Structure 1
Amino acid sequence: MASPAVDDYLKTIYHRTEWQDERITPSQLASELGLAPSSVTEMVQKLAAQGLVSHRPYGPVALTEKGHRRAAAIIRRHRLIETWLVREFGYAWDEVHDEAEVLEHAISDRLLEGIDERLGRPRFDPHGDAIPDAAGHVDREPFVLLADAAPGHVGRVLRVSDRDPDILRAVESAGVTVGARVVVTDPATLHLDDVVATLPPGAATTIWLTA
Structure 2
Amino acid sequence: MKQITVATEDYLKTIYAHTEWQNNPITPSVLAVRLGVAPPSVTEMVKKLAASGLITHVPYGPLTLTDEGLRLATAVVRRHRLIETWLVRELGYSWDEVHEEAEVLEHAMSDRLLAAIDLRLGSPTADPHGDLIPAVDGTVTRVPAVQLYNAELGHSGTVLRISDRDPGILRDLAADGIMPGSTLTVTGRTADDAVTVRLGDGPVDSTVDGAAHTLAADVAGSIWLSA
TM-score, structure 2 as length reference: 0.90
Write out aligned runs for 1:14-25 (5 A). Answer: 14-25=16-27
Task: Give the whole-Å Cα distance in 2 for the aligned partners of 1:16 and 1:107.
Answer: 24
Deviation at 1:107, TM superposition (A): 1.1
Write out aligned runs for 1:98-117 (5 A). Answer: 98-117=100-119
- The answer (yes or no) to whether the contact 1:174–1:198 under 8 Å persists in 2 is no
Task: Look up the SS of the partner of 1:202 in the other structure.
Answer: helix
Deviation at 1:201, TM superposition (A): 4.9
- The answer (yes or no) to whether the contact 1:155–1:182 under 8 Å persists in 2 is yes
Q: Find runs of 4+ consecutive structure 1 residues off by over 4 angstroms.
A: none
RMSD: 1.1
User: For this pair of structures, how many residues does the alignment match?
Assistant: 211
Instruction: Give the corresponding residue for 2:130.
Output: 128
Task: Give the whole-Å Cα distance in 2 for the aligned partners of 1:90 and 1:201.
Answer: 31
Task: Look up the SS of the partner of 1:127 in the other structure.
Answer: coil
Q: Map Cα deviations across residues 28-66 of structure 1 (whole Å, 9 max, x no partner).
A: 111111112111111111101111000001100111111
Q: Map Cα deviations across residues 160-197 of structure 1 (whole Å, 9 max, x no partner).
A: 00000011111111111101112111352221232213
Task: Give the whole-Å Cα distance in 2 for the aligned partners of 1:202 and 1:43.
Answer: 30
- The answer (yes or no) to whether the contact 2:149–2:217 under 8 Å persists in 1 is no
**Matched residues, percent identical?**
59
Deviation at 1:200, TM superposition (A): 4.4
- The answer (yes or no) to whether the contact 1:170–1:199 under 8 Å persists in 2 is no
Q: Map Cα deviations across residues 73-116 of structure 1 (whole Å, 9 max, x no partner).
A: 00000000000000001111000000001111111100000000
Deviation at 1:147, TM superposition (A): 0.6
Task: Look up the SS of the partner of 1:98 in the other structure.
Answer: helix
TM-score, structure 1 as length reference: 0.97
Instruction: Give the corresponding residue for 2:83.
Output: 81
**Structure 2: gaps (5+ residues):** 189-193, 201-209
Instruction: Give the corresponding residue for 2:198.
Output: 191
Aligned counterpart in structure 2 of residue 97 of structure 1, from 77, 96, 99? 99
Deviation at 1:19, TM superposition (A): 0.5
- The answer (yes or no) to whether the contact 1:175–1:197 under 8 Å persists in 2 is no
Task: Give the whole-Å Cα distance in 1 for the aligned partners of 2:94 and 2:217.
Answer: 21
Task: Give the whole-Å Cα distance in 1 for the aligned partners of 2:55 and 2:88.
Answer: 33
Letter of the aligned partner of 1:205 in structure 2? G
- The alignment status of 1:151 with 2:177, answered yes or no, reads no
